[in-house]
Structure 1
Amino acid sequence: MALPSARCWNLYRWGAKRWGVPAGVTRRGISFKLEEKTAHSSLALFRGDTGVKYGLVGLEPTRVALNVERFREWAVVLADATVTGGRHYWEVTVKRSQQFRIGVADVDMSRDSCVGADDRSWVFSYAQRKWHSMLANEKAPIEGIGHPEKVGLLLDYEAKKLCLVDVSQISVVHTLQTDFRGPVTPAFALWDGELLTHSGLEVPKGL
């Protein structure tokens, strides 16, 4: 079996050090903020690092600290907490963006890739007024949700499932079957507007 690259090992060690004790099975789900060290230079965090805005020009690369954690090619940012077990629920206000991806990713996924484009991330995408689930750049259409103000994400680590939730009905719209191989973290990408995250929530009854 091939040994992990030095770069991936450094990323994993950074994640373990930065994120501390992994999120376990608790009554409330994972609580997180967005990690500026991972944010692409076109993204800016706001509202106490719980929201992210896209800028066409973005920050000058020379003003952004270079490090192995930062996404270099795509407008992606990760959360500052990991999940290694349990069921977790969070919500994302999406009404101010017309093109985004939300889901989870391995903590050491390539910083040259985009969430949904490889087999190290699992996301729901919204673009051209249509929803899709995405894994390894393969899309499956999702119907019946439109463009609401807010959506929910339910992560069941042991069951290897990530669900898109209609928060107005408290119902699962689509389930993405996954294959987690280690710690994962909430992940976000956007190409216009802004997203706002809401974490530390209990899993709604009935989900």
Structure 2
Amino acid sequence: MAMSSCMSLLCRLTGRSLGSVLGHGRGKTLTARRWYISASAGNNLQFKLDEQTAHSSLDLFKKDTGVIYRMLGVDPTLVQDTPLRFRDWAVVLADTQIDSGRHYWEVTVEKSHEFRVGVAEVMTSRDECVGTNSSSWVFAFVQRKWFAMTTGKQVPVPLVGNPDRVGLLLDYEAGQLSLVDIQKAEVLYTIKTQFRAPICPAFALWDGEILTHSGLEIPPGL
């Protein structure tokens, strides 16, 4: 197996970016706080992706609503070093924090075969991938299968298939994050927890690209 193929497989198995596998990552303590936009419980959630949090292998596009994965990415030494940035993991967070209400957004995923979509605490560790700790909750798609993830535990989510676009429904007070079939306007699976701090939409990507869609009404019946 060629070296590049070996590295790619290792990235998929660990969830790390190629740069971190090659040893470019450097652990640091998250000390800085970013002024996030607060989501109003009475308005549709509107957000963009926050470049200051994006790993160097991720490029934002379409006015910071989409993200594309580059295997080699930018040399980490050429990227602005900030405590807000994920250094070892191909993760990016949204720029809007949520601390109340019910919110809904969608993600076009047809051009990626490996990704995670969900939410994370605004101050979640930048040295861990979303879904591997107690401060993030995601739905992962890998090897053509869906999983619900938090604290590193994976629970299979059946009957999802391979949709081009999925919905995410968040109920902060109820502690629920749901994966939604947007064609049927039905909840496919719900992660139940208790949110104890402000959170924001979170995304991880190891292949292709994904595009976010915010400012949407919650579909009737959900």
TM-score normalised over the length of structure 1 = 0.91
Show the counterpart of 2:13. Answer: none
Tell whether 2:193 aligns with 1:185: no
For residue 156 of structure 1, what is the aligned residue in structure 2? Answer: 171
**TM-score, normalising length from structure 2?**
0.85
SS in 2 for 1:201: coil
CA deviations 1:115-145 (Å, max 9, x no partner) are 0000010000000000000010001100111
Alignment of 1:27-176 (within 5 A): 27-28=43-44, 30-176=45-191
Aligned-pair identity (%): 54
Partner Cα separation in structure 2 for residue 25 and residue 185 of structure 1: 14
How far 1:178 moved relative to its partner? 1.6
The 2-side partners of 1:184 and 1:150 are apart by 22
Cα deviation code 1:45-96 (max 9, x no counterpart): 0000000000010011122100000001100000000100000000000000
TM superposition shift of 1:25: 1.2
The residue number in structure 1 matching 2:41 is: 25
Runs of 4+ in 1 over 3 A off after TM superposition: none
Q: Distance in 2 between matches of 1:155 and 1:178?
A: 11
Q: Is the 8 A contact 2:174 2:194 kept in 1?
A: no
For residue 113 of structure 2, give the secondary structure of its aligned residue in structure 1: coil
How well do the aligned residues superpose, as a CA RMSD in angstroms? 1.2
CA apart distance, 1:24: 2.3
Residue 52 of structure 2: SS of its match in structure 1?
Answer: helix
Q: Deviations over 1:12-48 (max 9, x none)?
A: xx23xx214x2121142x1000000000000000000
